[in-house]
Structure 1
Amino acid sequence: MTQSPTSGPEILTFGEAMALFIAETSGDLADVERFQRRIAGADTNVAIGLSRLGFNVGWLSRIGDDSFGTFIRRTLEAEGLDCRHLNVDPEHPTGLMFKERAVGGTDPRTEYFRRGSAASHLTTEDAENVDFSALRHLHATGIPPAISASCRELSRHLLARARAAGASISFDPNLRPSLWESESVMRDTLNELAADADWVLPGLAEGRLLTGYETAYDIAGFYLDQGAKAVIIKLGPEGSYYRGTLGGQNEEVTVPGFPVAEVIDTVGAGDAFAVGTVSALLDGRSPQEAARRGNLIGSLAVQVLGDMEGLPSRARLDALEANAWSQP
């Protein structure tokens, strides 16, 4: 989809980007002296992944008037993101995140310094200049509505405006229970937002917590009854499950995952899965191909250090798919 430089991005993402510091050595963070600086944020991971695949992606957020905010903007712009909706907040700082160096494929411990951050003060006013007429797709997660009440209203506003404009919407619950005032508020809010989405992308454990159902079939059915066209559930190393009505008929399929010789860093795997599934559906691929691409890019993400370093370019993805699809 070709656009003029003045028109808005075809894909919009929003949320909080943080400066990330990854321990250079394993062990307790209290004992680590050296860190590598990167950026972190589930929403930016997806934005960067889609941008690397050639989509015109915009990022809506706030950063502090500080060196970490400058670093984030420069990094996102270097990845090709349209940052016209990334505003500087002179009164609040950019959020920070520290991550340990995990070993043996375990989930690394993380520590956040984001309370009162610039992004937590996002409001619907930050979306005033969004050109929804240019928007083809909105990707949303459950993290912004967990950060603050004003971010929650922004999430509702963006989903409603995108739907009214005829854009497709994907929604990844991305549960962060510690950020919510209660589990019931988290469940009700995220299910409300999911009801405005076309493609819902929960993990199996997330789906169980949000819907009260146990099986992937029933979890998918819950969101299909709310109006979703497709529910693609992450099953971890086992792959993913699709159930939906894309293509005009009811289908369900379980797609096996890709074997990984060594898991280096699990953080960002779910975001990589979203990059794969969303990009494939935007490319007009079948649901099964979308789930398989999600599995493929998810497997790449866990083999490198960092939240988004394993996300491929379009050329690399084409080569990997050509090889993977030729396998029996």
Structure 2
Amino acid sequence: MPRSHSSSLDVVTCGEAMALFAALQPGPLEHCGQFQKITAGAELNVAIGLARLGFGVGYLSRVGNDSIGRFLLAALDHEGIDRSHVALDEVYPTGLMFKTRSDDGSDPHVEYFRRGSAASRLSLADYAADYCLQGRHVHLTGISAALSDSARELTVHLAREARAAGKTVSFDPNLRPRLWSSTQAMIDGTHALAALGDLVMPGLGEGRLLTGYTEPADIARFYLDLGASAVVIKLGPAGAYFTNGTESGRVAGVPVPASRVVDTVGAGDGFAVGVISGLLDGLTLAHAVERGTLIGARVVQFMGDCEGLPTRAELEGVVL
């Protein structure tokens, strides 16, 4: 059953939900004839991860009135995510993507079919203050801002309103260069959102591209100066660097044998689930980042973006 709008929300996020068709055998997509249909979308992955850990999660989006849209609505219901503000679009379709299978630990190839999607029609008309500001925390990524001008306007407005209302805001740049008109537009748009985030979580490569700095400490300082309260730089298998201006450090990555790495896509979203949930649980930033590395390492051992996201029971005795 869908989660009731009246249910208490801890977190609200906004983004594009898509269907992912994951190849069941390795090789180029054109040679694959069998696929598994699962959910995808960075913000949706985080929403699912937080819901599995017992948080009340609300999701703001648009999907097409088509089979894929209905598949995603059913998935939201199954995960216990509030979808009372997921609009069913009668004109524009739901986005989808295809992903290769990689059996050697390398990153898979992904092809997106999202241009003109229902989610790209997100706008300020979809914003509802009583819903979006109901929780303690708002999570956003740069993908939503890249979908369209109207979606970017909504994303910035949501971040600004959340900060003004005293909510905490996390921001993952999650760069998708092909969705932006230019590299400079991507940098400017991403910085505008990062300036509204309490917690900013770029990958090292993203941070270098966006700031021009090469060292994690310098990248983090850039975002602290921009207005963030805490910055976590994802270092991939090497772990993460974190700072809140007074406490800084590194957390080592969790080793995963190459033979057990099934799908690297979604690891960053799993990491975000760990950090956000840790902070909402009252952990220190360092311990929240440790949880992030553990969940990220778990996610890569499962096919699909969110299949490896643990329940609260699966975290007992494992994560601080």
Aligned-residue offset at 1:5: 5.5
Deviation digits for residues 246-303 of structure 1, max 9, x if unmatched?
A: xxxx111011011112211000000000000010011110111011001000000001
| Aligned equivalent of 1:119 | 119
> Percent identity among equivalent residues?
55
Q: Distance in 2 between matches of 1:181 and 1:90?
A: 27
| Aligned equivalent of 1:254 | 250
1:135-214 matched pairs, under 5 angstroms? 135-214=135-214
Q: Does residue 1:287 correspond to 2:278, yes or no?
A: no
Aligned-residue offset at 1:135: 2.1
Q: Does residue 1:66 correspond to 2:62, yes or no?
A: no
Aligned-residue offset at 1:133: 4.7
CA contact (8 A) 2:62 2:122 kept: yes
CA contact (8 A) 1:7 1:134 kept: no
Letter in 2 for 1:16: E
CA contact (8 A) 1:135 1:162 kept: no
Q: Does residue 1:82 correspond to 2:78, yes or no?
A: no
Q: Distance in 1 between matches of 2:72 and 2:175?
A: 23
Deviation digits for residues 178-201 of structure 1, max 9, x if unmatched?
A: 111000010011011100000000
| Aligned equivalent of 2:272 | 274
Q: Distance in 2 between matches of 1:130 and 1:92?
A: 27
Letter in 2 for 1:125: A
Q: Distance in 1 between matches of 2:130 and 2:121?
A: 18
Letter in 1 for 2:211: T
Please give the root-mean-square deviation of Cα atoms over the aligned residues, in Å. Answer: 1.4
Q: Distance in 2 between matches of 1:87 and 1:121?
A: 10
| Aligned equivalent of 1:300 | 298
CA contact (8 A) 2:17 2:39 kept: yes
1:85-100 matched pairs, under 5 angstroms? 85-100=85-100
| Aligned equivalent of 2:27 | 27
Aligned-residue offset at 1:10: 2.3
CA contact (8 A) 1:258 1:296 kept: yes
Secondary structure of the residue that 2:231 maps to in structure 1?
strand
CA contact (8 A) 2:5 2:84 kept: no
Q: Distance in 2 between matches of 1:268 and 1:275?
A: 11
Deviation digits for residues 56-104 of structure 1, max 9, x if unmatched?
A: 0001000001111000000011001000110000000001111111121
Aligned-residue offset at 1:227: 1.4
| Aligned equivalent of 1:319 | 317
| Aligned equivalent of 1:241 | 241
Q: Distance in 2 between matches of 1:7 and 1:97?
A: 32
The number of residue pairs the alignment matches comes to: 316
Deviation digits for residues 214-270 of structure 1, max 9, x if unmatched?
A: 10000000000111111011001110110114xxxx111011011112211000000
Q: Distance in 2 between matches of 1:313 and 1:112?
A: 29
Letter in 1 for 2:99: K
- For structure 2, list consecutive stretches of 5 or more residues without a partner in the other structure: none
Distance 1:226 1:276, change over 3 A: same
| Aligned equivalent of 2:41 | 41
Q: Distance in 2 between matches of 1:129 and 1:177?
A: 30
Q: Distance in 2 between matches of 1:314 and 1:159?
A: 28
TM-score of the superposition, structure 2-length normalised?
A: 0.96
| Aligned equivalent of 2:221 | 221
Letter in 1 for 2:243: R
Q: Distance in 2 between matches of 1:108 and 1:6?
A: 40
Distance 1:263 1:313, change over 3 A: same
Distance 1:132 1:65, change over 3 A: closer
Deviation digits for residues 17-67 of structure 1, max 9, x if unmatched?
A: 111101111111101111111011011000000000010000100000111
Q: Distance in 2 between matches of 1:75 and 1:24?
A: 21
Secondary structure of the residue that 2:273 maps to in structure 1?
helix
CA contact (8 A) 1:7 1:131 kept: no
